[in-house]
Structure 1
Amino acid sequence: MFDVKKIIEEITSEKQIKNLSFAGVGGSLACFYAAYYYVQREAKNITTSYTSANEFVHDTPACIGENSIVVIASRGGNTAETVEAGRVAKSKGATVIGLTHEAQDTGIHEVSDYTIVFEDGEGIPFEVGKSAYILKIAYETLYQVEGTGQYEAMVEAMNKMNELVPAAQKAIVPEAIQFSIQYKDNPVIYTMGSGTAWSAAQQETICILMEMQWINSAVIHTGEYFHGPFEITDPDTAFLLLKSTGKTKALDERAIRFLDQYNHHHTVIDLEKYGSHELGEVSEYYDYDFHTALLDVFNHLLADMRDHPLSKRKYMWKYKY
């Protein structure tokens, strides 16, 4: 396990950190949203940005400089846009923390001042995964720099996720089986969410339904649902709503009430049924991670039911793009 506390201590002993920013693409960008959201809500003085890597390269946020920590991530370690974002960040004087699944010899290692090698897969504790390390970077930075961020509660919740996630993944199997049967033939599936759960919904749309299942999809923030998107709601429109456990839960509940009245084909994943209440007042910052873990069960069953492996691609890694 990598000692994030020590990494941040080393950085803050040399620099006065005023900015913590995140740059990545696809699932790695989605992983950053919870930490970005946390910094926005909890920091008193530290600024933050959340930018798609190639946009970061071509239109770098003005906040990036020698008092910045920029966090980048690439599972394989060589995502070109993300590696280049790391180079740009370093050229601005920022300290770069890179996350990858590969132990050595990647572009992420090359451009990062600190490299964290994360783990994933069955039986791997939550706290050594990519998004867990990202949250650790966020709460250690806020705590060490300005003493904010509900530090003790965040650390306690991180530890609890190690047991809550695998138990919830087992418990939700019946619900996931039902979803795979009911949604396997839908040509379009809309995902919905708010708070950090919005990012889990967005990741589900672009990385799973569109990329891995070739199902047309769009993500809808529940706060925006009544300002345009709800006009596409029919009785059989397929929706998957990821319910928040935090302050934005009211937004989700409003959307659910409408769907209950006008739609008969929506699934709501409610984390409170699977132990999220044990995370206490900071549970909303873990909604992305908790939902993503449960969606992993849904996605494998949906792929099996559709006879469409999650590894199947038409373009990705096959052509120059």
Structure 2
Amino acid sequence: MPAELVITGSVHLGPKTLVVIPSLSGTTAESIELLRFARSAGAFVLTLTGHAATPLAQEADANLTSFAADDTSSETFTVQALLIALSILDSVDDYTEARRLRSDLAGLPGALLGIKRRFEERAAELAQIIAGSDFHIITGAGGSWPEAFYYGMCILEEMQWIRTRPVHASDFFHGTLELLESGVSVIALKGEGPGRSLVERVEAFVPSITDTLTVIDTADFELPGFSPELRALLAPTLLATALERVSAHLEVLRDHPLSTRRYYRRIQY
């Protein structure tokens, strides 16, 4: 996305624009180029990084540094993005509901730790399923889609070298369904907001072709005191929290640390 925006530009980019750029390393080349491009257009650039002494942290108009490991970065970035969105709503529209939701997030760290602990046994089982197949289709919709896309591309493909087809649940029946046959692994991520019914449509269809269907549903996670609206907004974070435990087991099962790469940041491209 940063590389595309630099090439295409945008009518929305100018002196009244807030540009938010997340980068765990703070050194992503395309993101650095976008930062400079956006600032040259007069935009205010806020960067979210895992390290302070980096170009993206130091050249931004504002920076929030919060250390995270590779496999927990999506958790921290989705929470920060939600906080930013709620803060903007509050400042622009004096949105009381946004203030309440933001306040309710105070108990999130403990809640996420509880999810990890309760999901541990299932995470080990799911890691066995993922390690046992060399091809997966992963799908989601609404709040669950960002994590489906991220986990398929960044974790299973980039960090584990497992062939994976991330596909939005609304597109599943426009081509991808023809890849289904007995034994093909499908991973469906379900949130609790708009888009849930699209994932359920896939969930209902897949067992008629293959018995290798894995469903992770945020509705199964215990979050006492969290409203249905907040649970829906937190879908990518909740799924990332659970899948981090899957990744931890997966790298041991496959003897493949998540940090191992062949090409990414190892050769020039």
Aligned-partner SS, 1:112? coil
Aligned 8 A contact 1:153 1:280 in 2: no
What is the letter of the counterpart of residue 272 of structure 1? A
Structure 2: distance between partners of 1:190 and 1:120: 27
Structure 1: distance between partners of 2:239 and 2:167: 16
1:141 aligns with 2:102: no
1:67 aligns with 2:67: no
Structure 2: distance between partners of 1:157 and 1:291: 19
Deviates further, 147-156 or 285-294: 147-156
Aligned 8 A contact 2:51 2:67 in 1: no
Aligned-partner SS, 2:173? helix
In the TM superposition, 1:49-60 aligns within 5 A as 52-60=1-9
Deviation at 1:110, TM superposition (A): 3.5
Residue of structure 1 in register with 2:56 after alignment: 108
1:315 aligns with 2:263: yes
TM-score (norm 1): 0.78
Deviation at 1:183, TM superposition (A): 2.4
CA RMSD of aligned residues (A): 2.0
What is the letter of the counterpart of residue 196 of structure 1? G
Deviation at 1:137, TM superposition (A): 1.4
1:173 aligns with 2:120: yes
Q: Percent same amino acid at aligned positions? A: 26
What is the letter of the counterpart of residue 204 of structure 2? R
What is the letter of the counterpart of residue 46 of structure 2? I
In the TM superposition, 1:88-99 aligns within 5 A as 88-99=37-48
Structure 2: distance between partners of 1:220 and 1:200: 11
Aligned 8 A contact 1:132 1:158 in 2: no
Deviates further, 76-85 or 140-149: 140-149
What is the letter of the counterpart of residue 252 of structure 2? D
Deviates further, 90-99 or 218-227: 218-227
Structure 1: distance between partners of 2:106 and 2:166: 30
Deviation at 1:112, TM superposition (A): 0.7
Per-residue CA deviations over 1:99-143 (Å, capped at 9, x if unaligned) read: 111123x2113331101111336xx9x99x333222211110121
Change (3 A) 1:302 1:132: same
Deviation at 1:235, TM superposition (A): 2.4
Aligned 8 A contact 1:69 1:95 in 2: yes
Structure 2: distance between partners of 1:275 and 1:263: 30
Aligned 8 A contact 2:143 2:194 in 1: no
Structure 1 unaligned spans of 5+: 1-51
Deviation at 1:149, TM superposition (A): 8.3
Residue of structure 2 in register with 1:255 after alignment: 202
TM-score (norm 2): 0.92
Structure 2: distance between partners of 1:119 and 1:154: 24
What is the letter of the counterpart of residue 291 of structure 1? L
Aligned-partner SS, 2:142? coil
What is the letter of the counterpart of residue 69 of structure 1? L
Structure 2: distance between partners of 1:136 and 1:60: 27
Residue of structure 1 in register with 2:154 after alignment: 207
After TM superposition, which residue ranges in structure 1, 4 or more long, deviate above 6 angstroms? none
Change (3 A) 1:253 1:149: farther
Deviation at 1:276, TM superposition (A): 4.9
Per-residue CA deviations over 1:67-97 (Å, capped at 9, x if unaligned) read: 1100112112111110110111111111110
Aligned with residue 233 of structure 1, among 138, 160, 180: 180
Per-residue CA deviations over 1:10-68 (Å, capped at 9, x if unaligned) read: xxxxxxxxxxxxxxxxxxxxxxxxxxxxxxxxxxxxxxxxxx11111111221111111
Deviation at 1:274, TM superposition (A): 1.1
Change (3 A) 1:146 1:112: same
Residue of structure 2 in register with 1:191 after alignment: 138
Change (3 A) 1:153 1:194: farther
What is the letter of the counterpart of residue 179 of structure 2? I
Structure 1: distance between partners of 2:227 and 2:262: 40
